[in-house]
Amino acid sequence: MQAQATNTVDPGEIAKFEAMAAEWWDPAGKFKPLHMMNPVRLEYITNQISAEFDRNLKADKPFEGLHILDIGCGGGLLCEPMARLGATVVGADAAERNIPVAQIHAEQSGLDIDYRHTTAEAMADAGEQFDVVLNMEVVEHVADPLGYLTACQQLLKPGGLHLCSTINRNPKSFAMAIVGAEWVMRWLPKGTHEWKKFITPDELFNLISKAGMEPVDRKGYVFNFAKFTWSISDRDLSVNYVTAALKPAD
């Protein structure tokens, strides 16, 4: 399935990630921040899915029978653990060069994941629907956040779960996500993020509601410089944060 032109894809943002595609699975490369954050991302995702669909995470394949879409999947850092937990997984990305990287790594890992170069709008137009849509660190890179979130809503089955993470917009997030991560630590190339595209938690909840979903939870991802680790916070959403929302059941 080929990517189609939409009003939410930002070609400049796609070019940034295509330039880094080969480094997705290098924990010391340009995606080092995601590798460091991935354990807390997975903790939140698995806990939300297990609670919503009444799954026992101690079971062998707790997500068996669930159809999960990771939109903006990159190299598959979230797709692979979802597949290992038993889910049927589709990974979609508008950056074409990400797909073969993800496919090769999944094959090497013995995992069957359906990777596609496409967009949320194209999949929604095709009538596809999923139990869960993972929308992680993508909304701050699109041209039309409301249009994009509306497409994500259309991709959910009634009663489906939408998990969306992004970066808050305030002086602290500029200092941490841009000055710290891009300029000082050089974890990401300069220009990876644009501060003006960051979205506050209240703004994101409002957009999610306008898109036809019901926000039900939000948490912060907090980086501890002393321990050099990430943790989940109920209160500190000042930089990175994640939200959960449901599509109303019919």
CATH of the domain at 60: 3.40.50.150
Task: Please indicate if the annotation marks 72 as binding a ligand.
Answer: yes
In-domain check, residue 6: no
Give the count of domains, the chain. 1
Q: Are 69 and 133 in contact (CB under 8 A)?
A: yes
Q: Is 41 annotated as a binding residue?
A: yes
Q: Residue 71 sits in which domain range?
A: 12-247
Q: DSSP string of 51-79?
A: HHHT--TTSSSTTTT-EEEEET-TTTTTH
pTM (predicted TM-score):
0.87
The pairing of strands 214-224 and 229-233 is antiparallel
Identify whether 223 is part of a domain.
yes
Regarding beta strands 88-93 and 114-117, do their DSSP bridges make them parallel or antiparallel, or are they unpaired? parallel
Please give the structure tokens belonging to residue 8: 């939410």
Is residue 195 scored above 80 in pLDDT? Answer: no
In DSSP notation, 95-112 reads: -TTHHHHHHHHHHHTT--
Q: Is residue 7 part of a domain?
A: no
- Within a domain: 234: yes
pLDDT digits over 65-113, tens only? Answer: 999 999 999 999 999 999 999 999 999 999 898 999 999 999 999 999 9
Annotated binding residue 144: no
On whether 159 is known to bind a ligand per the annotation, the reply is no
Tell me the pLDDT tens digit for each residue of 142-165.
999 999 999 999 999 999 999 999
Asked if residue 21 belongs to a domain, the reply is yes
Which range is most confident: 15-19, 23-27, 35-39, 43-47? 43-47
pLDDT value at 123 more than 50 = yes
